[in-house]
Structure 1
């Protein structure tokens, strides 16, 4: 097996933000070119230049299985004290994508030396943290023709699971997210003469209050969704009625159906406030590619059954969480499964102190290689 720890440490030192993963792309490409090339085809995407795809041709392909690893980092200043800390100021692999890439390279290396039965496509995806690289690739037609993918798999590291553990569930693993931006435009004036103005702060207060009932009175208590309005800006001084208020927030839900419904309700509330207060309310809802990560039930049942049957795999069934992941867009278009890889760290994802346990790498690679071999025998 390739030196997974060295690869992970190399990648950890060169984190780059979404759509700017130039050094990371070059490192991945150089590493892949050092593998046996007999069954490999390398593809780059001019319209998405930091993306990298590698096909492994199978001996008797009946399907094409995709495996995705995200490659971007976060605008976070690392505070781990590791000797291989980030060399890029203000940028760090605080979400563990260096672990994701390393596992994918380990799996690819195995099948470069042991030809699979089915075709495999490895997708090293830029822009997961921002700019939804999965949607960009899909919309460019990357997974059409000779690069069509029948089913997709991918992992995310999880600090609160034991190192090397595998976890998932047959439903939703990550919520879908939508950015909410609301501009309320009224008419400014003197605080002493409210009749001559149209107070954007009051309208904003009513909007915020009404939004609080959208989830509680429209979504079943047994389902999961949340709307958080985390930012409000309005006014300049205490005795001037504000002519503008800006509200920013996020909507999250476990199914795309629920998210679409809640988006509609937000628009209705905005329209109602505009009419009630005779003001202008402009609402922008930006989901991009951050759809819920809805695992395919049949494929995920097979994945879970396999992992549970392996004495060397520590499988843990895990409930869904409200964080977002743009792999959800690909799973909305192509059936598949996302799963957790435990990395045993006391720090949260996106923390400046995140330091995944590297002992998770080998069992992660072994579990995935074993599952793919099993899947190809079906």
Structure 2
């Protein structure tokens, strides 16, 4: 069974070799090598040819009544590390800036425990590629990765949180993470000379009107108690100051705490775009891409059970957290299989996706202990 020292060493090795979504080949091989050293008596390892960096491990239970799933993500971000650590990323421009190296170390610790201590229930561990982009959870599900003996009855997963004390567990009933949708809007009118606007159809003006009207969706069409976010982060139009722009392009993101809210915002964006097209006699095309980034909506019964265990365990610091507007593709899996996502505190001044993120490694063993304890408790309740 992996010790705390082992887990920290593994985490640092993974941290030095981060890889982007769907390109986690070295990470995949390293994970398989580590897992191969575990007691294999009750383990079955499976890879997916269609999703070659994914790994599934099934632990056969001694008297199974259910199958419990546990997911960890394995990809990194296109961020240039600025921590100055001796074990900093060796891959230029790529960093585990979201703490997935911590996630993997915790998952390996939990798996190594149950490899040595056969669980009562069956367990499925999913080492998932492509959480940061390309929605690897959705890809795996649509490839029938979770069929027959490989389908969990319930699914759990964590995300590290620098705002919580190292080793603390955070969770809440309802939505933990918002769902996200990518928004692309293209405007097509008629270009012309800046001195003769009457002979052109200016898409800078049309795009500006669209941007202004979009701001009213959250302020006037969304229940303030429920909340939502629309951020338009990119605008491209025109080539030179004295030419009226024939086209414009906008890119942005939607965040909502429920799928119903996201779909409501989607509909209002389409309505505004149609109105702008009519008002400006322009062609306006809206593309909305959610992929697998649905809201992470925790199952009521399973989450109540999880929270009760964490609260009642005196060795665990439990903190009830507010929902976050960040996205996580575990939401797609929870839309198909009931389960719970929770936070693991890693106590750091830097935020997720920061070039200086430096999680407190004492959180790793604390996370392993909390999860193995909960899973053992779950098998009896």
**Which runs of structure 2 are paired with 1:1-378 in the superposition (5 Å)?**
1-2=1-2, 3-378=6-381
Deviation at 1:195, TM superposition (A): 1.4
Q: What whole-Å deviation, never above 9, does each CA across 1:38-73 have from its counterpart, x for those lacking one?
A: 000000000000000000000111111100000000
Cα RMSD over matched residues?
Answer: 0.7
Aligned residues: 378
Deviation at 1:322, TM superposition (A): 0.5
Counterpart CA distance in 2 for 1:10 and 1:250 is: 34
Counterpart CA distance in 2 for 1:269 and 1:118 is: 52
Deviation at 1:235, TM superposition (A): 1.1
Deviation at 1:83, TM superposition (A): 1.0
Counterpart CA distance in 2 for 1:76 and 1:233 is: 24
Q: What whole-Å deviation, never above 9, does each CA across 1:90-146 have from its counterpart, x for those lacking one?
A: 111010000000000000000000000110000000000010100000111111112
Counterpart CA distance in 2 for 1:150 and 1:321 is: 26
Deviation at 1:86, TM superposition (A): 0.9
Counterpart CA distance in 2 for 1:155 and 1:266 is: 33
Deviation at 1:212, TM superposition (A): 0.8
Deviation at 1:347, TM superposition (A): 0.4
Counterpart CA distance in 2 for 1:208 and 1:79 is: 35
Q: What whole-Å deviation, never above 9, does each CA across 1:139-172 have from its counterpart, x for those lacking one?
A: 1111111211110000000001111000010111
TM-score, structure 1 length as denominator? 0.99
Counterpart CA distance in 1 for 2:225 and 2:149 is: 43
Q: Secondary structure at the match of 2:375?
A: helix
Which region of structure 1 is more displaced relative to structure 2, 80-89 or 47-56? 80-89
Counterpart CA distance in 2 for 1:91 and 1:229 is: 25
Counterpart CA distance in 1 for 2:51 and 2:258 is: 28
Q: What whole-Å deviation, never above 9, does each CA across 1:190-220 have from its counterpart, x for those lacking one?
A: 1121111111111111111111111111111
Q: Secondary structure at the match of 1:8?
A: helix
| Runs (4+) off by over 2 Å | none
Deviation at 1:299, TM superposition (A): 0.5
Q: Secondary structure at the match of 1:98?
A: helix
Q: What whole-Å deviation, never above 9, does each CA across 1:271-298 have from its counterpart, x for those lacking one?
A: 1111111111011111111111111111
TM-score, structure 2 length as denominator? 0.98
Q: Secondary structure at the match of 1:233?
A: strand
Counterpart CA distance in 2 for 1:80 and 1:195 is: 55
Q: Secondary structure at the match of 1:173?
A: strand
Deviation at 1:8, TM superposition (A): 0.7
Unaligned runs of 5+ in 1: none
Counterpart CA distance in 2 for 1:185 and 1:72 is: 38
Counterpart CA distance in 2 for 1:94 and 1:176 is: 21
